[in-house]
């Protein structure tokens, strides 16, 4: 799928969505680790549930996505908040270096971008990342393919950062319980 087709796919999905997205579990579960102030980025934000959550926590937020429909809806939802939402292809425009106190990435995976994401954090900055894994207990999320993480892959993609929280439960034990189908990481750029 080329970029125009990808944009059209997400535009159509967001035009039909009847509610704004909520924040990822990794953000709500580990919100107590967030700084009280600072500059955050929601990368590939979609409808911006994570961006809205971060702004509600007192952070100044940038939110980027290729979908003009998603960005327009986020702008409407963000009136009065310190949140700047922009249409931006994150693979085409380089990320600023040592710039963000918090970066959040949800349900988006471009492995080639991971070193730049780590470098876009300020020293002491925090990465919140959550996305789908190949090991899973049901069919939720994208089909098998490059958008799913291998076992512990998220740790290796950000091995220069200090892990503060990590969860990936695979398919073992009682499959009806727990945090399944996804991995979540909170990691800090060393100061």
**Residues in contact with ligand SAM by the rule CB under 6 A:** 6, 10, 21, 24, 44-46, 49, 64-67, 70, 89-91, 106-108
* Least Å from the CB of residue 10 to ligand SAM: 4
Q: At closest approach, how far in Å is the CB of 148 from ligand SAM?
A: 12
134-139-144 Cα angle (round to 5): 40
Q: Which is nearer to ligand SAM, 132 or 158 (CB)?
A: 132
In the complex with ligand SAM, the residue whose CB is nearer, 106 or 125, is 106
DSSP for 34-81, please give it.
S-SS-EEEEET-TT-HHHHHHHHTT-EEEEEES-HHHHHHHHHHTTTS
| Helix (H), strand (E) at residue 128 | strand 121-132
Nearer to ligand SAM, 16 or 190 (CB): 16
Q: In the complex with ligand SAM, which residue's Cβ is closer, 44 or 186?
A: 44
CB of 5 to ligand SAM, least distance (A): 11
Distance of alpha carbon 131 from alpha carbon 59, whole angstroms:
23
- Our CB check for ligand SAM shows the closer of 94 and 124 to be 94
Sheet holding 39-43, edge to edge: 83-87, 60-65, 39-43, 100-106, 121-132, 182-188, 162-167
Q: Tell the smallest beta-carbon distance from residue 13 to ligand SAM (Å).
A: 8
For the four alpha carbons of 49, 50, 53 and 55, in that order, the dihedral sign comes to negative
Q: How far is the CB of 88 from ligand SAM (least distance, A)?
A: 6
């Amino acid at each position: 799928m080329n970029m125009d087709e990808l944009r059209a796919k997400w535009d159509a999905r967001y035009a039909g969505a009847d509610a704004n997205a909520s924040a990822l579990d990794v953000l709500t579960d580990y919100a107590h680790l967030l700084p009280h102030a600072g500059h955050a980025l929601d990368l590939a934000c979609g409808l911006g549930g994570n961006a809205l959550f971060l702004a509600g926590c007192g952070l100044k937020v940038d939110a980027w996505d290729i979908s003009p429909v998603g960005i327009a809806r986020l702008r409407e939802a963000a009136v009065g908040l310190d949140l700047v939402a922009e249409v931006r292809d994150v693979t085409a425009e380089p990320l600023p270096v040592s710039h963000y106190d918090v970066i959040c990435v949800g349900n988006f995976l471009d492995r080639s971008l991971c070193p730049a994401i780590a470098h876009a954090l300020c020293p002491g900055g925090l990465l919140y990342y959550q996305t789908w894994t190949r090991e899973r207990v049901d069919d939720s999320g994208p089909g098998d393919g490059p958008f799913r993480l291998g076992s512990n892959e998220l740790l290796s993609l950000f091995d220069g950062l200090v892990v503060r929280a990590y969860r990936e439960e695979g398919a073992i034990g009682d499959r009806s319980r727990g945090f399944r189908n996804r991995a979540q990481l909170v990691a800090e750029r060393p100061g």
